[in-house]
Amino acid sequence: MLTGPTNAQADHAMLPRATLEEEARQEFVASLKFHVATELAGTMKDVYLSRLAPEYERQHGHAPRDVREVAAVMKDQPAYRYWSALQRASQEMMWHAAQVPVEREAERINANARAVPETRGTLRLDAALEMPRYLAAVDIHCMPGNYHARAGGESDLSQGAVYDRGVYIYAMGRLGRRNEDLGASLARHLRGAHPDFRPRRILDLGCTVGHSTLPYCEAFPDAEIHAVDVAAPMLEYAHARARALGKVVHFSQQNAESLDFPDGHFDLVVSHILVHETSHKAIRNIMREAHRVLRPGGLVAHAETTLYRHMKPYDAFMLDWDARNNNEPYWTAFHHLEPEGLAEETGFGRENAFEWSVPSSAALPDADRTSGRFQAGDFGGSGYWYVFGAFRR
Ligand SMILES: C[S@@+](CC[C@H](N)C(=O)[O-])C[C@H]1O[C@@H](n2cnc3c(N)ncnc32)[C@H](O)[C@@H]1O
C-alpha cells in the first residue's frame, strides 16, 4: 500500500491486491505528483511573485487581476509548460497505475462483493436511468471509461475499485486513509457549528463509492443515511464497500436532478465535489430538488474547491488548469458561481444562502497548510474546503 509522502490507504475487502511492481509504480506516481505539486509548483510561484507579476505591473500599472491576466503572463513560460506537461502525464499515469491491478483482480473483487456480509443497508438500481449527457460525453478528469464503464461485462463493478484506488493516489493520501476527508470535514463542521442540529435523514448526492458518505454514519449515528448516484458500478461497489466496513447506507441509482423521494423527506442534503461536474442547468435542477426533498429547518450543503473570487488570481489560474487540461468542461463556470443568486433562483431565497470555509479533517503537515507553496486546490492540500448551500426556511 502507498506509504510514500503520506499514509497508507485503509484496506478493505473491495480493494485490489497490488503486486510489488504495481505498488512501486503507484508509489512512484504519487511521489511524482507530490514533487510536481511542491517543488515545481512552489518554484514556479516564487518566480511569478518575484519577477513575472512585478514585470506585468510595471507594464500595466497593476498586478494581474484574474485568471485571464495571469494566463497572459504564465502560459508561454517554459517552467509552466513543463509543469503542465508533467501534471497531465502524472494524471494519465495515475489512472493507468490504478487500473492495471484492478483488471488483474477484477474477478476476485466481484466475488468479494458477493461475499461481504449483509447489513441493514440496501441497494436499489434502475436499469432504465440514463446517464446525463454532461457526464456521458467526456471521460471526466481523464478517468478511462468514466463512472459507468463495465469493462468486464454487465455485472462488473470493478470500475469502483479504479476510482477508490485512483483517488487515493491522486490525493497522495491527503483525503485520509479512506478518502473520507470531504465528508468527515463537513460532518464535523455541522456538528461543531450547529450542535442542536440532529438530522434524522441525510441524503448524499453523487456519492460515487461512498468515500464521503460513510463519515455521516459516524457523525450522526442515529440518522438514516441515503446516497444516490447515476452510475451503477459505483453504487454496487459503494454498497459492497459500506458492508465491508460495517456501515448502514441506503444507496439508490437516481439522477440528483429528479429524485424519487417524497417532499420534505430529509433534514440534510449534502454533496461533495459533485456540482463542478454538472452543467449550468443541472446545478439549478439539483438545487430545486434539494429544496423539494428538504423539510423546513433543513439545509443543503455542497463541498467543493474554492470559487475563484475567494482566491488570489495566481492560485485561481493554477486551479483552472483542470478545465483546460483534465477533461473538466464545467469547472471554470462552476468556479464563477454566485451562491446567493442560485439560492434565489431555486426557491431558497438569497438571504438563506451561505458560504463556509471548512477546515480539513485530514492530518496535513503543518508546513503545507501554512506555507502557501503547496499547489493548493483539489488535492485536499489547501487545508480547508469551500462549502456553499442554503437553509430551507
Ligand atoms: C467526483 S464524483 C463525487 C465524489 C464523491 N461525492 C466523494 O466525495 O467521494 C461525482 C459523482 O457524481 C455523479 N453524478 C454526476 N451527476 C449526477 C447527477 N445528476 N445525479 C447523480 N449523480 C451524479 C457521478 O456519477 C460521480 O459518481
Tell me if 230 sits within 8 A of 132, measured CB to CB: yes
- Cα(50) to ligand 1 centroid in Å equals 40
Task: Indicate which atom in ligand 1 lies nearest the CA of residue 140.
Answer: 1
Task: Indicate which atom in ligand 1 lies nearest the CA of residue 167.
Answer: 9
What is the reported pLDDT for 364? 62
- Cα(312) to ligand 1 centroid in Å equals 28
Where the chain has pLDDT below 50, the residues are 1-7
Atom 12 in ligand 1: which residue has the minimum CA distance? 206
- Cα(206) to ligand 1 centroid in Å equals 3
What is the C-alpha end-to-end distance of the chain, expressed in Å?
A: 47
pLDDT, one tens digit per residue, over 318-345 is 999 999 999 999 999 999 999 999 999 9
Residue boundaries of the structural domains of the chain: 173-391
Q: Which residues line ligand 1 (CB under 6 A)?
A: 132, 135, 147, 182, 205-208, 211-212, 228-231, 234, 255-257, 272-274, 277-278, 282
Specify the CATH class of 173-391 in words.
alpha beta
Give buried/exposed letters for 305-317 (b at 16+ CB in 10 A, else e): bbbbeebbbbbbb
pLDDT, one tens digit per residue, over 372-383 is 666 766 665 567
- Cα(131) to ligand 1 centroid in Å equals 11
pLDDT, one tens digit per residue, over 126-159 is 999 999 999 999 999 999 999 999 999 999 999 9
- Cα(360) to ligand 1 centroid in Å equals 20
- Cα(274) to ligand 1 centroid in Å equals 5
Task: Indicate which atom in ligand 1 lies nearest the CA of residue 277.
Answer: 15
Atom 15 in ligand 1: which residue has the minimum CA distance? 206
What is the reported pLDDT for 1? 39
- Cα(45) to ligand 1 centroid in Å equals 32
Tell me the CB-side half-sphere exposure of residue 33, using CA atoms within 13 A: 30
What is the reported pLDDT for 383? 79
Atom 13 in ligand 1: which residue has the minimum CA distance? 206
